[in-house]
Amino acid sequence: MTSTNRTLNRVVLVLCALLLTVAGAAALLWAFRPGWAEEFLTEAERLIADVLVGAAASTVTISGVGDVPIALIAALLAALILAVALTIFVFARGRGDVREVSRMAASDGRTDVDRNVVDVVLTGALTARPDVLSSRTGVYLVRGTRTVRLAVTVRQGASLGDVLAAAERAIKDWDSLLGGEIPILIHLTDRGWLDRYRSAIRVR
């Protein structure tokens, strides 16, 4: 995920959290109606009632339909704008992942190394270990630089030092194969609750 996507996600999450907080606080006030907020709630109810009455009274005549409340038209437009904005957000955000882990240019062309190659090299030796449940890689474009994320799920009681050393050996093999170095992030994690039901015996 790129830094731009992360920033946009955080902004959206903060706005949603603020809206939910305000809505939740208002619902609690209306439900329990504490004495110190009674005057405020009464005034708010009066204003809402005035707005609803005014909105219902304001209409526009549409040929073939008749009188339509302006509030209804405004609500439909707001819903349409929100739907379009959410659609654009969902399809434009992306994960930031890329297909090629490396692009090497030469005088007679260019060589692209697919991310499946780095996945086989880095995860092959790790998944064969009895103390490793699974391993996977992802290639992301971070500030214009291709970066590999190596995620390793270890079994309970596994020696993290041994697993990390095995991962570093696999990375050295990858560097030798590539003929250079690229940023690689190693992420070690324990098994999730579903993994507790897996067999401790690995098939070789």
pLDDT at 203 over 60: no
Task: Report the alpha-carbon distance of residue 186 to residue 193 in Å, rounded.
Answer: 22
Comparison of pLDDT for 203 and 53, the residue scoring more: 53
The mean pLDDT value for 38-66 works out to 77
Q: What is the mean pLDDT of the chain?
A: 78
- Per-residue model confidence as pLDDT tens digits over 138-188: 888 777 788 888 888 888 888 888 989 999 999 998 888 888 888 888 888
- Residue 154 near residue 163 (C-beta atoms within 8 A): yes
For the domain spanning 100-197, the CATH number is 3.30.70.1350
Task: Report the alpha-carbon distance of residue 68 to residue 127 in Å, rounded.
Answer: 65
Q: pTM for this structure?
A: 0.49
The mean pLDDT value for 42-54 works out to 79
The domain segmentation of the chain, as residue ranges, is 3-93, 100-197
